[in-house]
Amino acid sequence: MFSFSLNHIAISVKDVNKSIEFYKKVLELQEIENTASNSKTRWLSLNEGKQLHLIPRPDAEIKINKAVHFALATADVSLFIKHLENLKIDYSDWLDTPTKNYIRKDGVKQFYFQDLDGYWIEINEAV
């Protein structure tokens, strides 16, 4: 049997510089060195050795829907919601109810917002 752990998430972005600034500002991620290549792909740390790779694809058609998302957990969803509101970033529950979080069947609060390219990001309390 194989054993896996998450290494990184990679997404295509229109403007890698704007996307880096978005993720640093909104999620307060730290940029780290791209040790794989000399490409313009830029990396951010998700902590514990996990990474978010932003791959510049200015001419790519990026197709998104809420079912294609990545989720990050935090101990204080309410504090992060205030942070998004201060940045004037819209968020919703799974059913697209604006400015609403949702409590899942297992009791975990969650909500969603989008980055500059339209990718959905889930924030939840499943820590």
- Domains belonging to the chain, first-starting first, are 8-56 (3.30.720.120), 69-124 (3.10.180.10)
pTM for the whole thing? 0.91
Cα separations in angstroms, 120 against 11, 28, 33, 38, 94: 11, 17, 25, 28, 11
pLDDT digits (tens, 9 = 90+) for 51-84: 999 999 999 998 889 999 999 999 989 999 999 9
Average pLDDT of span 81-104: 92
- Give me 31's structure tokens: 């940029």
Residue 101 burial by Cβ neighbours in a 10 Å radius (0-12, 13-18, 19+)? buried
Q: Which of 76, 69, 65, 64 is nearest to 52 (CA)?
A: 69
Q: Which residue has the higher pLDDT, 77 or 22?
A: 22
